Structure 1
Amino acid sequence: MSVIALDAVDAVDAVDDPRLSDYRRLTDVQLRLAKEPAEGLYIAESPKVLRRAVDAGHVPRSFLLAPKWLPDLADVLARFPSVPAFVAPEATLGTITGFHLHRGALAAMHRPAPRPLGELLDSARRVVIIEDMVDHTNLGAIFRSAAALGVDAVLLSPRSADPLYRRAVRVSMGSVFQVPWARLSSWPGDLAAVRAAGFTLAALALGPGAVPLGAFPARDHERLALLLGTEGDGLSDGALADADVALTIPMHGGVDSLNVAAAAAVAFWECRYDGARPVL
């Protein structure tokens, strides 16, 4: 097998070339969780996601593409003439990465600097706070709904999954680049900072005393933070204790609850902000 390099990089003849190390063993979750934060990189997969990443101001450190994507992404490559771009057949890409690519286009991206919590809260009206969510698919789906339904920022507890992990980025269709987010350093202690910024804390939770979502006067709250927990366990007792109100989505047909990503989309719509900005 061979990988052909374009422009700034010489051709390499083996898939174990060290210049391709960013793309190897992407299915090894533990490796990626350890590698990406330490080395300051993440992987953008698919042409659409790749474009959204660079349009959001993120900087690539290399590209790895199937030949068929060169015409479509030529303008993106031209924006970064000094960044190495590698081309290989899709079968070779699968050998390098260890999985079948849905779209034969990848980029190793430099991670942007973390956003300060205060900066995110300054102009926000609706935020979502996620506690200890480890499923990247759910996390990516929540980011996509947040972007579509007017959520201004996403806050993550220290043990929550990485929004820039490959699967989360792909499921979100690049919405993780569109919605500002920050990882909290103290849990649930940082909820006090959110409340101090003027937010009402509303937990999505089952249990006695929870208010049906449709009966909650969300539009009376200029600043509202929705708290979401993990699949199964939901929010911790500490997070529930810090919430101002618990909200529940009434179920029918003997169904106990919705998937957390589906529940988040319902809550985002029902609690949308329609004060200074119109709701279409």
Structure 2
Amino acid sequence: MAAGGEARIIRIDDPDDPRILEFHAIRERDLTGRQNRFIAEGTVVLRMLAAANAGGGGFVAEKILLLENRVAGLQAELASFPADVPVYVASSTVLDAIAGFHLHRGVLALGYRSHQPHAAELLETLPDTALVVCAAGISNHDNIGSIFRNAAAFGADAVLLDETCCDPLYRKALRVSVGAVLKVPYARGGSIEANLAALVQRGFDVWALSPSGKTEMGSLSAAPRMALVTGTEGSGLPAAILDRFNTARIAQAPGLDSLNAATATGIALYLLASAQGRLQTDGTAGS
């Protein structure tokens, strides 16, 4: 499937065909894990996987599975994958039997993350002016996906997830992120304390987001290297983190104790990105 060429199509008539085994019973496999493999679902995420595959950032496309009536409209996307990535096609009945539920999007791909950097390794690749999102204890896949979407929208250079955060390559998180998980460099692992220490060591101004934060987000002054730390719903960030680092809050109307973690992160990222001058009036973002 070289660029500009015809997609290589392989017809699947048996839901138990071993060539598409990785797509079988998708929801159950979401729960058990795929050993660094992931399912990309939908046209937008398929495009992001193609870009990530071509970009050499550690994401590799292995195979594609499509509903038969989606093939004609996806020729441009399919042509952007390497020629050795097989494209399997099935009827709606067979595809639903493979997935284990009705798959109305009809677009799936199997990807593999070949390299998973540690936080310190990732931070060494960042420019002198950088914006990083650091998350702790985010176990909700919708929130993880939304945080990555916010990070991409506001030009963040990286996301650091501690070991208690859920996997952003989980199918739902990847879908909610509209593929941003494949675009924004990230590392997952270690404790929140270790990740923040790595940031401090590399000259980042660390700001912990909390409803009780001492400084209002809109009044922060820009620094060349800034890191925003967000915690889980309810309990938020550990007291030891709030005591050690600068804390910031988002002003809001009375009557509600806090914002959703992903929503708060998005607002705070917008303010930090604006303070660093990385947002463009034409709608583009960059560092």
The yes-or-no answer on 1:127 pairing with 2:135 is: no
Deviation at 1:274, TM superposition (A): 5.2
Long gaps (5+) in structure 1:
1-5
Number of aligned residues: 266
Deviation at 1:273, TM superposition (A): 5.5
| Alpha-carbon distance in structure 2 between the residues aligned to 1:118 and 1:55 | 25
Which residue matches 1:172?
Answer: 177
Which residue matches 2:78?
Answer: 77
Calculate the TM-score normalised by the size of structure 1.
0.86
Of 64-73 and 260-269, more deviation after overlay is shown by 64-73
Deviation at 1:239, TM superposition (A): 3.0
| Alpha-carbon distance in structure 1 between the residues aligned to 2:92 and 2:248 | 47
Say if 1:270 and 1:8 are closer, same or farther in 2 by CA, change over 3 A. closer
Say if 1:12 and 1:94 are closer, same or farther in 2 by CA, change over 3 A. closer
Amino acid at match of 1:83: V
Task: Render the CA deviation track for 1:32-74: whole Å, top value 9, x for unaligned.
Answer: 35432x2x31111111211111111232211110112212322
Of 146-155 and 101-110, more deviation after overlay is shown by 101-110
Give matches, 1:133-144, under 5 Å: 133-144=138-149
Give matches, 1:112-123, under 5 Å: 112-121=114-123, 122-123=126-127
Deviation at 1:191, TM superposition (A): 1.5
Say if 1:49 and 1:251 are closer, same or farther in 2 by CA, change over 3 A. same
| Alpha-carbon distance in structure 1 between the residues aligned to 2:165 and 2:277 | 32
| Alpha-carbon distance in structure 2 between the residues aligned to 1:229 and 1:196 | 21
Q: 8 Å contact 1:125–1:273 — kept in the other structure?
A: no
- Percent of matched pairs sharing the same residue: 38
Deviation at 1:276, TM superposition (A): 7.2
- Aligned match of 2:101 in 99, 102, 114? 99
Calculate the TM-score normalised by the size of structure 2.
0.84
| Alpha-carbon distance in structure 2 between the residues aligned to 1:102 and 1:198 | 47
- Aligned match of 2:217 in 213, 218, 237? 213
Deviation at 1:179, TM superposition (A): 0.8
Amino acid at match of 2:209: L
Amino acid at match of 1:111: R
Q: 8 Å contact 1:222–1:273 — kept in the other structure?
A: no
Which residue matches 2:113?
Answer: 111
Q: Secondary structure at the match of 1:247?
A: strand
Say if 1:152 and 1:26 are closer, same or farther in 2 by CA, change over 3 A. same
Long gaps (5+) in structure 2:
1-6, 54-58, 282-287
CA RMSD of aligned residues (A): 2.2
